[in-house]
Chain A
Amino acid sequence: MMADDPNLHRDSSDEHLRGLFSKLRKEDQARIPPPLMTGPKIESVRQRRPAKWRPGLRFAATVCAATLLAALLWLRHDLSLHRAAPGQGSYAPVASITEWRPPTDFLLNTPGREMMRTVPVLTPEPSPNRAGSPPNRKPEPPQAAAPLSQ
């Protein structure tokens, strides 16, 4: 990088601006305050500045922060222990998916739903020699087996 030459920005077009600024500087110099304030004024400035941390205060703050951090870590550890052991403490055990029943299951209990679940009993086929018989004829009850002859 090129070094900044003090004369680089001293072109003739700047002279007008330089003149204006130098006039302002001369006017400002007439109202310069003394280098250092004394008495209550300097005290007020000193008080307004943020207080410097004393070594004791710094130690106390560090101890407080460390205690807080340790407490937080302990709490977190305790919580994770509770979560790891189901059924203990105030944490409810997690139900198995196979045991779970939907709460709206009862809505499926409609009247006559047994019909959907049972198989109807069908009558046996009519014999070919009775082909001309009317279709609404009652089926004959099955004959009881003949008792065994002695």
Chain B
Amino acid sequence: MHPASFAWALWCCGRRREEAEEVLQSAYLKVFEGSARFNGDSSLRTWFFSVIRRTATEQRRRRWLRQQLLERWFVTPPEASSAPDPEAVAASSETSRALLQALAALSSRQREVLHLVFYQDMTIEEASRILNISLGTARTHFARGKQQLRQILALTDGRKEKRA
């Protein structure tokens, strides 16, 4: 479960590796310290994924607030990079890079649903539980995201063929 959790944390943090590691550790600590409790309403994986997502959101909010306060009252803080980990980008294959670029053009909800269904092999219902949205909304995001992703990938393939 750890690899899947890390991949989800990575996704929730815009594929920034260090941030994802921190989020995952914070989520583990929440579970160990008992501040996040599993009540058996869903599967363990679904529950833990929602804990990771919530932790990532909290961390992002905290970071944003800190940045805003520092900028306003003190000095300009060292800018946290919003770009994905360059090392990971370099290590990924061309097809994966194209997929990541195409995914970056989608809305975050569409990206999350597609990740949970295609990458994590979950059902749309499980995805809707993790994202705390209705099943119908999740289905809509899934269908629209898939359609857009196909269009973007087709465009990218077309450009490659032209270059060749």
Contacts and interface: CB of A to CB of B under 8 A. Distances in A.
Given A27-B93, A28-B7, A36-B28, A4 B125 contact: yes
Contacts of A137: none
Contacts, number: 85
Interface string A1-24: 101111011000010011011111
A16 to B, nearest CB: 8
A23 B95 contact: yes
A27 B22 contact: no
B146 A20 contact: no
B150 A46 contact: no
Interface stretch (B36-44, B46-54, B67-75, B116-124): B116-124
Contacts of A1: 135
Interface footprint category on B: 35 or more
A89 interface: no
Contact of A31 (B91, B125, B128, B149): B91
A29 B3 contact: yes
Given A33-B21, A35-B2, A25 B125 contact: no
A97 B95 CA distance: 87
B10 interface: yes
A25 B115 CA distance: 10
Contacts of A33: 6, 21
A17 B6 contact: no
B106 interface: no
B3 A32 contact: yes
Contact of A14 (B10, B99, B125, B146): B146
B108 interface: no
Contacts of B135: 1, 4
Interface string B1-41: 01100110010000001000110011011000101000000
16 contacts: A4-B126, A5-B123, A6-B123, A18-B118, A20-B153, A21-B99, A21-B119, A23-B95, A24-B92, A24-B99, A27-B93, A35-B28, A36-B25, A37-B21, A42-B25, A50-B62
Interface of B: 2-3, 6-7, 10, 17, 21-22, 25-26, 28-29, 33, 35, 62, 88, 91-93, 95-96, 99-100, 114-115, 117-119, 123-126, 128, 135, 142, 146, 149-150, 153
Given A49-B29, A52-B33, 18 more contacts: A4-B125, A4-B128, A8-B124, A20-B96, A20-B153, A23-B93, A24-B100, A27-B93, A27-B96, A28-B6, A28-B88, A30-B91, A31-B88, A35-B2, A35-B28, A45-B22, A45-B29, A49-B26
